[in-house]
Amino acid sequence: MNNLGYVIGLRNATPAYSNLAGELPYLRLRGEPGSGKTRFMLTVGSLCYKPIFASGASTVSPLFRILDSFRGTLVIDEGDFRLSDEQAEIVKILNNGNAKGFPVLRSEATANRGEFNPRAYEVYGPKLIATRGFFKDRALESRCLTEETGGRPLRDDIPISLPASFKDEAQSLRNKLLLYRFRNLKAGQQSEVLAADLTIEPRLNQIFLPLLSVVSDAKDREELRALARRYHGEMVNERGMDLEAQVLECIRDLRDSGRPLAIKGIASWLVDRHGDEYERKLTTKWIGNVIRRKLQLRPVRGSAGYLIPPEELPKVDRLYERYGIPSGTGEAGPTAATPEPDFP
């Protein structure tokens, strides 16, 4: 992502932008310590509409309350959330916060009466996040436009410490941005509706179309579309390293060999090919759960145990595309590296 991404990061923090669509992406920086993430958060966050600065150590309760009260831009530094109930809840709030209509529901105690009344807290709004690594939650990862930091040397014109004039300069720029929003609010509300790119993931269409709708320059729009296609390729390549992708490759090769798509046979081929890559033993039960729960296929009981029936094959073909698996030719057969599966 080039400098256009930073301009977009500022634009998506405006009320006019929020009126254009029901979804918006998050701008996330990822890099090692000392790569400039915190400085970016301070500098860009100070220019955003109603910035709310927080750290990854923040708890859930104040976050959703302050978001509901100010409806501003949440700026989270050190956002590498750990696997605890509290942090998992923050991830859920961030997952819901990029789309309208999914508030956080809480029961609030009534003073001196011992009663509890339900209340909805709005968490929708733009967010800037800095992390050292990837989010373990893929749903949250897919909501982010990511800029990698640390790949370029430090510029001579960037001071090590922010000068005393920083706050005044940031306020002046915020005022100019606010005036720009007032002058262009009506134009933003009348922005055209763009067609989705059917060659990329639906989630990417969801987060890129609102950005495209506020960009009028044709060249800038094409840069954004190219960025969306690049993100799509990265998502497909990442899925291609998953266990689900390896299962799909075995399903494809079994289909090409003309053999039944038995769960036991798929597991046998998978063990022969990738068994040494996993600390846990690849069992038929585990592979069956992956096929049912992850790939959403419905095996049926047959003479060779549970099999993937013919009516599920159109689903399989769509999964090939989603995971970047080349479809079969119908001519390939087992190779020396792929022994015959042991069917019952």
> At residue 127, what are phi and psi to the nearest 5 degrees?
-145, 140
Q: CA dist 245 to 56, 242, 260, Å?
A: 33, 5, 19
pLDDT over 90 for what percent of the chain? 32
What are the φ and ψ backbone dihedral angles of 154, each rounded to 5 degrees? Answer: -65, 135
Q: What is the mean pLDDT of the chain?
A: 82
What 8-state DSSP symbol labels residue 293?
A: I
Q: Is the pLDDT of residue 171 over 80?
A: yes
Which pLDDT score is estimated for 316? Answer: 93
User: Which tokens hold the place of 298?
Assistant: 């419905």
Cβ proximity of 29 and 41 under 8 Å: yes
Tell me the pLDDT tens digit for each residue of 230-281: 888 888 887 777 899 999 999 999 999 988 899 999 999 999 999 888 888 9
The proportion of the chain whose per-residue pLDDT surpasses 70, expressed as a percent, equals: 85
Query: Model-level pTM greater than 0.85?
Result: no
Distance of CA 131 to the CA centre of its chain: 14
Average pLDDT score over residue span 137-158: 85
3-state secondary structure of 172: helix
* Domains assigned to the chain: 3-193 (3.40.50.300), 243-323 (1.10.10)
Contact of 289 with 306, CB cutoff 8 Å? no
Give the sign of the dihedral formed by CA 64, CA 67, CA 70, CA 74.
Answer: positive
Sheet of 73-77, strand order:
51-55, 73-77, 127-131, 26-30, 144-148
Token digits of residue 319: 């999964």
How many C-beta atoms surround the C-beta of residue 94 within 10 A? 24
The H-assigned helical ranges of the chain are: 3-11, 15-18, 37-45, 60-70, 85-96, 138-141, 166-189, 202-213, 218-239, 243-257, 263-274, 284-289, 313-323
Confidence at residue 82, expressed as pLDDT on a 0 to 100 scale: 72
pLDDT band at residue 182 under the 50/70/90 scheme: confident
Residue 196 in this model has a pLDDT that exceeds 70: yes
Q: Which of 128, 33, 124, 133 is nearest to 80 (CA)?
A: 133
pLDDT (tens digit per residue) in 102-130: 898 888 877 777 788 888 999 999 999 99
